[in-house]
Amino acid sequence: MGLRDTLNTEENYKDGLISNREALLYFQEKLGKLQSDLDNGIENYKKPTIEVYQSTLATILSYQRDILLATYSSGASLSAFKEEYISFVSSLIPIWRKEWGYEQMLWALSIGILLNIDEETFNQLVDLVKKDDPEDYLIDYLIQARHPEWTIRINYNFPKPYGYTRKIIEEVNSEQAIKLLKEYLVKKWYQGSGDAAWYDLHNQNVKNHVGYWSFESGALCKLKELDYKQLEGLPYFPYDLVAEDAKV
């Protein structure tokens, strides 16, 4: 299919994926060497090896995140996107912390719901939240979709823009809920993400733009069984992830 995010070009997405995969391989190989150093008590760096190891894990996650987003944005198949999602989760598990990883967890849970990901993978994410609990309404809601016993707390790590999702979640009228979701996508989500590292990147360095996606919007649409067809063509909405699931 064609590009899903047209703020970048097919050529730039392709070139970015190639360079990011090369870099990812380099740091994965470096991680293997660092693991060997740790196992043998070798200190080859100015910083302790364990610190270099942890920073390398973070670098791997960063590249895997960009590969995940660019794969979807460039129009790749959903099966290819799912493969990158599994790799993204695998790179997230060793180092996730609530202090810096809210958005990554939100993406991981939302995409997992949209892809009907297996329980083992989803529960690995749940275990991370249990261990380092962000106490967040939206994350709680997403987890409760798979774990009905999960308690939803009225707390928001990032009230802007994610606090608005409570209106969508608690709206019982489907037509009103879809209107609220449209408003979130058109007026709230991107505009309220000014503190995100990726914000406005397409205007600053378009070659590094990997896509803007409100995956939680797709997950909310699915979980509330809203008419996703009314959202076709709206920026930031992962339409085909919702539409493909509706065919199953």
Domain boundaries, the chain: 1-95, 129-248
| Encoded tokens for 155 | 């707390």
Which residue, 56, 81, 86, 57, is CA-closest to 70? 81
pTM of the model: 0.95
Angle, in degrees to the nearest 10, between helices 78-92 and 102-114: 140
pLDDT exceeds cutoff 50 at 113: yes
Q: Taking a C-beta distance cutoff of 8 angstroms, is the pair 212, 7 a contact? A: yes
pLDDT at residue 247, rounded to an integer: 55
pLDDT digits (tens, 9 = 90+) for 63-106: 999 999 999 999 999 999 999 999 999 999 999 999 999 999 99
| Encoded tokens for 52 | 């270099």
